[in-house]
Amino acid sequence: MYINRELSWLEFNARVLDQARRAELPLLERIKFLAITAGNLDEFFQVRVGGLRLLRRSGKYTPDAAGLSPSDQLELIRARADAQVQAQYSLFNDELLPLMRVAGISPLSIGSLAESRVATLRRYFEDNVAPLLTPLAPEVDQPPVLPSLSIIIALELAGPGEESSRLVVVPLPDALPRRMHFAALDEGYVPAEDLICAFIADLFPGEELRAATPFRVTRNSDIAVPEEGADFAREMEAVLVARKFSDCVRLELPASTPPALADRIARAVGAGAEDTYRVPGLLRLTDLGDMAREPGHDNLKEEAWPSYPAADVDPSQSMFDNMAQGDILILNPYESYEPIIRLLEEAAADPDVLVIKQVLYRTAHGSRFIKALCRAAEAGKQVTVLVELKARFDEGHNLVQAERLQKAGVQVVYGVKGFKTHAKITLIVRREHGFLRRYCHFGTGNYNEKTAGLYSDVNLLTCNENLGADASQFFNSVTGLTRLMRFRRIFPAPSGMKDKLLSLIRAETHRALLGERAEITAKMNSLNDPDMMQALEQAAEAGVHLRLNVRGICCWAPGTPAARSRTRIISIVDRYLEHARIFSFLNGGSPLVYIASADWMPRNLERRVELLIPIEDHAAARRLLDVLDACFRDNTQAYVMQEDGSYTPVRNHAKPFSLQAHLQRLARLKAHDQERAGRLLLEPHVPIP
């Protein structure tokens, strides 16, 4: 049975919302999960709804694998999204907001404050807010572009004795904090939009303020890059500009907005009835997530888990010496991501390193990777970096980083025409004893030290000769624009990965038909490739036992009783974002284990440059098999897919078991063993209980 992709995604967001409902979690953790669901919906409307609108407008009514046309999908999305928004606000207003008041961190109503405090707020508005505001008139022949996802104040103004009124809009300045704290207020904060609405009439002397309300516009961001011109960076800049002028796909208004004003705002931004969402409370709930990230209120947060030193890395030796002793597998954030950064920083300073090549998809602000690459180029090393400019919503940041790299002397390549380059790979060539040796990093996550502490990923550090030769071939292909072929061990997309995965599934299917034990265990973020889903259905029918841990979108559910009896599909939602892609095939009792940068989606397997990496080191493969097994022991944070594609929490009478708590515990025990063995800790500040 095929499940619509968009509805499957909304089902995933509902699972995230379930975490915000967990009464046993500290308050700020619940608020964090609520904010994540709001941010997820923002991106969903920008990309998925925006894309469906374009499809419907183009007249393409071809149904998806689930048999739904673009119009059908938009209608179902509207119903599901509206229900999800109502659930968000029901949770926030009825449960979280009362708890926030008790904790002294809730939004305050200006109307409930004493006159002396209101006077303080008015003075603050006059001195620190009013000079930043820019009123705009949207009801003109060439209206101003209103920013997407920003809070905007709509004002209905009229002169003395005038029946008609005019509409004025005031975007919240970026320099203005959303939550405004004042020494005169003992606890809580005033939302910036409330402060502005309370006093903005002072900016329009001689006019009557008849109504004021905040609102929010979401614009379509599903705008393709032409890739026809010679200057790809300039084309991407044009796309970023185009997004500012794109169609409105969602208008959010407080439920209390007067109908006449709501209609006027909708006309001004080009929103129809199906685009308009009336929300019963604070707009842009995603901003609440900042409260969980800010220092303080530790009693309202879960105790942070430290990243322990990777036990297979000796900090007294260079990363090159460590890797020369054998493959190193690092599971972040349970184990520190520092060795991956350290490898590049050591390479930048090492006079024997001649060449550094790396793919960058999403990097952190203030990235240590970028700094190390610049230092390496400035030291005279040959440094080549493929910067993916089509990394959605990071395009502007990547343009800036690319310019910085180029100024330092780095050879920057802007991806492969027609494809996103999503592979996670670094190649370092070092002169050793008169010979050249390759050192490689392959991963499932981006080169981003910030998200490495939030996402659960796998890293392989190796100087395996075959993998090193493949890494060289990979970079030669993507920079020289030749076909991705003739690899020894790795399987790239779009040229070989899908065929390899299908052949592995068919091999297990063949074993099952011969009466042998056959099993596939896979962990990924999304599954919606029709060929992969069909192969899985055939495998389960033939007798292959399938265990799939699909965090987000899963568009396949077994279609027959026989297939269902051999298939278990789960999703784990916990404190870290499950991001690793790990695949295992029983192979007659000699398991084949792989990690990948790709999910099982057409975009990854057919329209992106990705890598599937075999894990040939026995100890590393065993660790990953244990991770996969632990996924299906989770009975606290796992959800199991039902026949209709819905999910229910896994609950049984076994001892409570959490995948992430298990991996954290293993990292701690390995660090204990390292300490007892007398090895120095990589990060001395990390306590080992």
What residues are annotated to the active site? 422
**What phi, psi does 537 have (nearest 5°)?**
-60, -45
Burial 631-645 (b: 16+ CB within 10 A, else e): bbebbebbbebeeeb
Residues 156, 52: Cα–Cα separation, whole Å: 34
Residues 669, 335: Cα–Cα separation, whole Å: 11
Determine the 3-state secondary structure of 341 from DSSP.
helix
> Cβ(310)–Cβ(285) under 8 Å?
no
Length of the chain: 689
> Cβ(225)–Cβ(236) under 8 Å?
yes
| Nearest Cα to Cα of residue 284 among 19, 42, 106, 12 | 42
> Cβ(32)–Cβ(307) under 8 Å?
no
Give me the amino acid identity at 213.
T
Determine the 3-state secondary structure of 589 from DSSP.
helix
How, if at all, do strands 567-572 and 638-641 pair? antiparallel
Q: Which two tokens stand for residue 680?
A: 């120095």
| Nearest Cα to Cα of residue 274 among 246, 247, 249, 257 | 249
| Nearest Cα to Cα of residue 32 among 447, 549, 572, 577 | 577
> Cβ(633)–Cβ(593) under 8 Å?
no
| Nearest Cα to Cα of residue 574 among 639, 633, 527, 625 | 639
Residues 383, 427: Cα–Cα separation, whole Å: 10
H or E segment to which residue 624 belongs:
helix 618-631
**DSSP conformation class of 681:** P
If DSSP states are collapsed to H, E and C, what string results for 521-560? EEEECCECCHHHHHHHHHHHHHCCEEEEEECCCECECCCC
Tracing tokens 């990071």 back to the chain, one arrives at 394
Q: Which two tokens stand for residue 673?
A: 């063993």
Widest distance between CA atoms in the chain: 91
| Nearest Cα to Cα of residue 454 among 302, 630, 575, 368 | 575
Strand partners, 537: none
> Cβ(616)–Cβ(607) under 8 Å?
no
